Amino acid sequence: MHPTLQPLPMPDAEVYFAPDFIPGPQADTYFMQLMEQVNWQQESIKLFGKLQPMPRLTAWYGDKSYTYSGLENKPQAWLPVLQELREQVEQATGHTYNSVLLNLYRSGQDSMGWHADNEQALGPQPRIASLSLGGERRFAFKHRNRKDVEPVRLPLQNGSLLLMQGPTQHHWLHQIPKTTRAVQPRINLTFRQVIS
Ligand SMILES: O=C(O)CCC(=O)C(=O)O
Ligand SMILES: [Fe+2]
């Protein structure tokens, strides 16, 4: 594993973090390329029986289709820039990924609620490599059932890489909360290995 990926001291989890995985100027270039080239979609989610627009834009690229939050994502061919990022993340983490989910948080009002990435298609021990580009946002973890374990908050800055694996998705939830602070748009890429 890449030496800059440092373990976070979390019980019942295997989380590694590299705050400076991609140098700032290069991360800025990737951010602009992805803003322009990705096929960003405004998806909806059913909340209390009502269709609501998701508070972020999303895109799915990969070798297989994948159901996420009840939505079927048809695979789209990898863009060269996504291939390049995938290779860097594969080198750093020592594992391969056949899919990437991209999220675009346009402002502090865009967010992702508490969840775990524990769909069956990700296997019993999902490995999620999460790359952040653009404006910094706070990421939060909370243990599902241990009240004695403190939540973990982590600023995900431009060019940072967060790796979650092992039992993490079984015992912890994570989110990107909304913020009233002035923040720049942010792109997050979660590389995943879909097995079915
Ligand atoms: O934007 C992030 O950092 C989190 C994304 C995430 O949790 C997901 O796509 O499952
Ligand atoms: Fe997630």
Residues 6+ apart with CB under 8 A from 32: none
Least-confidence region, from 70-74, 76-80, 85-89: 70-74
Residue with the nearest Cα to atom 1 of ligand 1?
188
Q: Could you give the C-alpha distances from 52 to 43, 46, 47, 86, 94, in angstroms and in order?
A: 9, 6, 7, 31, 38
Counting from 1 in the atom list of ligand 1, the atom nearest the Cα of 162 is: 3
CA distance 106 to 11: 33
Is pLDDT above 80 for 69? no
Question: Ligand 1 — pocket residues by CB below 6 A?
Answer: 101, 103, 112, 117, 130, 139, 156, 174, 176, 188, 190
Which atom of ligand 1 is closest in space to residue 68's alpha carbon? 10
| Residue 122, token pair as written in the block | 């990700």
pLDDT band at 72 (very low <50, low <70, confident <90, very high): confident
Q: How far does the centroid of ligand 1 lie from the alpha carbon of residue 138, in Å?
A: 11
Identify the residue whose C-alpha is closest to ligand 1 atom 10.
117
Q: What is the pTM of this model?
A: 0.94
Residue with CA at minimum distance from ligand 1 atom 9: 190
- pLDDT of residue 70 exceeding 70, the answer is no
- Which three-class secondary structure string do you get for the chain? CCCCCEECCCCCCEEEEECCCCCHHHHHHHHHHHHHHCCCECCEEEECCEEEECCCEEEEEECCCEEECCEEECCCCCCHHHHHHHHHHHHHHCCCCCEEEEEEECCCCCCEEEECCCCHHHCCCCCEEEEEEECCEEEEEEECCCCCCCCEEEEECCCCEEEEECCHHHHEEEEECCCCCCCCCEEEEEEECCCC
Quote the pLDDT of residue 187: 98
- Main-chain phi, psi angles of 84, to 5 degrees: -60, -45
User: Which of the listed CATH numbers 2.102.10.10, 1.10.1520.10, 2.60.120.590, 3.30.360.10 matches domain 6-192?
Assistant: 2.60.120.590
* Binding residue ranges for 2-oxoglutarate: 103, 105, 115, 186, 190, 192
> Which is the closest atom of ligand 1 to the Cα of 103?
1
32-61 pLDDT, tens digit per residue, is: 999 999 999 999 988 888 999 999 999 999
